[in-house]
A = this chain, B = another copy of it.
Amino acid sequence: MSSTVMNDDTLYLGVDGGGTKCRACLVSSSGEVLGTGLAGPANPLHGLTRTLASITEAAEQAAASAGLPQLVLKDVVAGVALAGINLPGMFVTMSEWQHPFAEMHLTTDLHAACLGAHRGGDGAVIVVGTGSCGFVSVKGQSATLGGHGFLLGDMGSGAWMGLEAIKAVLKAEDGLSLPTTLVDQVTDIYGVNGLQIVERMSKASSSEFARLAPSVLAAAAAGDDVARAIVAQGAGYIDDLAKKLLLMAPPRLSMLGGISAPLQKWLSDDVSSKVQPPLEQPEMGAVYFARERHGLSATKALA
């Protein structure tokens, strides 16, 4: 088994689960990437069974692409990064999984993104894609900010921008806000107008709302006042979040996710001047996490 210190043969598997896909990489103890895998959605908040299947599939693909039999998975030390694992109930549920690995170490997708972005070192990340959140880890202290999901938070994210735009369009149709070009954008993208918008969007997913975000950013850049107000409010939140993360003096700060690039020009100079590109992918971050936890448990076994 794998509970001896610095076993040169230990294989590490890093898994990064997300709302649309699940990536895995198999890495040797010296850090060499041996194989990679890619499977479908793995957000346990949106379906546990599918998440477990995607993790397994991505892991098996990684083994196969390394030229190794699936049986090798029972010897690997896996780091599995998932959204929602910071919720106490979800952590317990995932911990009870009869996983196919020698060890499984669970952490948040955000933590893995941070470890990847800073090549296993200290730093901070802000992810602004469909959702939004921030994470910082410095000298063994870490903090997560935001990441409360579509309904309750995720300000500044793509889904949030889309939702605020839909609300603004409905207010504009009632004559209760300034006119906005977003009215036409909504019709173009979703094929509806007026009260049909309510029927079309009342139960739409966060991804559906996020489809509108590029149009909101474009309308804001073109000077639409309603769109500008939405983007400025979202960027204000991300700016506050960044400043809070920077209070812990992380050596690096990266922004990730589909909305992060267009949003950067709306941030204060204080913040945007500190943003640096991520160095590695989240699944490599999950490997760093697994190596650290494996080392800790091995040390504990010796103590």
Contact = CB atoms under 8 A, between A and B. Distances in A.
- Copies per complex of this chain: 2
A174 interface: yes
Interface residues of A, number: 32
Interface stretch (A26-34, A47-55, A162-170, A249-257): A162-170
A296 interface: no
B241 A202 contact: no
A152 B174 CA distance: 13
A189 B252 CA distance: 41
A176 interface: yes
A229 interface: no
Contacts of A100: none
A198 B145 contact: no
A301 interface: no
Interface stretch (A62-70, A86-94, A119-127, A259-267): A86-94
Contact of A146 (B151, B174, B201): B174
Given A153-B167, A153-B170, A174-B146, A199 B244 contact: no
B195 A88 contact: yes
A202 B151 contact: yes
A74 interface: no
B244 A174 contact: yes
Question: A-B pairs with the 5 shortest C-beta distances?
Answer: A145-B174, A148-B170, A87-B199, A148-B198, A176-B240
16 contacts: A86-B195, A87-B195, A87-B199, A88-B195, A90-B199, A148-B170, A148-B198, A152-B163, A152-B167, A152-B197, A152-B198, A152-B202, A153-B167, A153-B170, A153-B171, A175-B244
